[in-house]
Every structure is written in structure tokens, then in C-alpha cells.
Structure 1
Amino acid sequence: MEEVENDSEKYQALCEKLCEYELIVDSAEQAIERPGDYQEQKKYYSGKKKMHTIKNQFIVMPGGKDIGLFSSFYGKLS
């Protein structure tokens, strides 16, 4: 999806094709080293995991074909 994000015509065509399928959306939280700057630490600290993390969201088709990995999010964000 990221390859066609900037081309609105191709992006629209891809979205229409994907509407025909059931997709599985999941996410994973990954531990990272604690950032040196305190303000950065606050962004990445996950209170749930009690560590500094980033969260990745990905989409796969039921057969296991990977559709895409979406941008990482700060550990603090849901």
C-alpha cells in the first residue's frame, strides 16, 4: 500500500480490490532501548508493558499473504 499511497488513482484502485477480501489486522509491541532525552522517553514508555516500546500494525489476508506493515507508533499510544 505504501508504494501507491502518493498516487491517488492507484491507491483508490487498490482499496477497491481489497474491499473484496476479508483482512486480518494485528499489531505487535516491540521493546526498544530507552531514549537518552527525557521527553523522548515519555513518548516511548508503555505503562502497560513497563518498558520503552514501539507498536507496529500489519495487515494480512487469511491465507497468510502479507498486505503491508504500517508505520510504527510510540509505545505510549494505543
Structure 2
Amino acid sequence: EETSLNNVENDTSGISFIDGVLLNPNRLMISVYNTLGQRVYNGNESNIHIGAHGVYCVTGASVNRKIAY
């Protein structure tokens, strides 16, 4: 039986999301996109404040994740 959880890889990016702040402790180069496909952040800061509530895609060399705020 196939599920959406097949081929899940371990996330070694260290990226997490707490109280409206995207934490990037390894200072990876990442981009953050809103649901309209607009890039709202691009860089490698360790703490990125997400202004508006919504769903965002976080992409980079070792991360590809969706977050909801």
C-alpha cells in the first residue's frame, strides 16, 4: 500500500518553526514562499520572523518543507 509518507528522508537541516519565527541554526541558504508563489524571504539568517499568518514553503539545498503559521 502506498502512502504519502513513502520515501521520507531524515531532515538534517535543523530548521524549525516556533511562535512565528523560522529558526535556521545552521544558517543554511533558504528561500521562503507564500501560497501565491511569491518569495517572501531569501537568505541565511538564523532567525527569520514570518510576518503574516499563512502557509509557507521553505526550500534550500537540504530542506523542502511546508509550514503553517
TM-score, length-scaled by structure 2: 0.28
* Structure number with higher helix proportion: 1
TM-score, length-scaled by structure 1: 0.27
Larger Rg: 1 or 2?
Answer: 1
* Structure number with higher strand proportion: 2
